[in-house]
Amino acid sequence: GKGDVYIIFQVEVLDATTKEQLCFLDKVDPHSTIGDIKSLFYKSCAQWYPARQALRLDTRGKSLRDDEILQNLPVGTTATMYFKDLGPQLGWTTVFFAEYIGALLTYLVFFFRVPYIYSHTYALTSSPHPVVTLACVCHTFHYVKRLMETIFVHRFSHGTMPLRTIVKNCAYYWGFSAWLAYYINHPLYTPPSYGELQVKYALFTFAMCEIGNLSIHMSLSNLRTDGELVRRFPTPTKNPFTWLFFFVSCPNYTYEVGAWLSFTVMTQCLPVAIYTLFGFIQMTIWAKVKHRAYIREFKDYPSVRTAIIPLIL
């Protein structure tokens, strides 16, 4: 019977651009995953750790996923794979730390009016407007919360990110943080039109959105802890903040946009509105991808759900 024959595979790895052979793996178990092959390749070429490697079946093709199994691929017993170097990689935790700590500290530099930012008369002074201090507290809270979630809540499914993407992301977060902070902490900044009332309402919705965002992150994290092989889609829990799951696939983004909208109203500052708009566009793109993936994966996915804005988007 077929069970008696045990086929051993051979895998040769070629450079995708030069076609030169980088390594030849002789006795490879047919049940090996691409992840296993990357580890074997790493043993013979130590300069490319697995997270740096992309392996393809043809030079222009799609990169193979780590969980794909060798014998299920359209290859003979001698498989040829093409290697592309993805460049230096960093883990997600490192990435988020760089982004968030940078944004946090950048803002504080402007809040404390470090010399040479505004004219020397204002160096190391503080703003007479309470809303400026409040905005700093909110901004700081937002990023400290994100850092705490990175350490204690998030479970990252994809291992790493290329170094150049990190540089780009940090430039985005730190740059915007500096731009917002420059205007909010500016000596000529004027408080919002409707004064204290506007600030109070905005602060309330900001706090609600931050709690909502945290609630969603916690429930998504709990979804992964059970160690079950069966994947489930997120559903509302007893916590009322998670009830947004009845209407949208990515309520964490809905709350995130809500928080920044509240911050915009609180500070009544144009750069904040622009940052919120950019964030909304990016989060909508992510939410739609996630939403489509849920629909593809789960046949019983609730049809009333939209991606990010209930009933609309």
Dump pLDDT digits (tens) for 184-205: 999 999 999 999 999 999 999 9
Dump pLDDT digits (tens) for 120-143: 999 999 999 999 999 999 999 999
Q: Give yes or no for residue 157 having a pLDDT over 70.
A: no
Structure tokens at 252: 């964490």
At 94, the pLDDT band (50, 70, 90 cuts) reads confident
What is the domain partition of the chain in residue ranges? 6-16+64-85, 90-297
Cβ count within 10 A of residue 135: 28
Q: What is the pLDDT of residue 90?
A: 86
The whole model's pTM is what? 0.82
Dump pLDDT digits (tens) for 270-284: 999 999 999 999 999
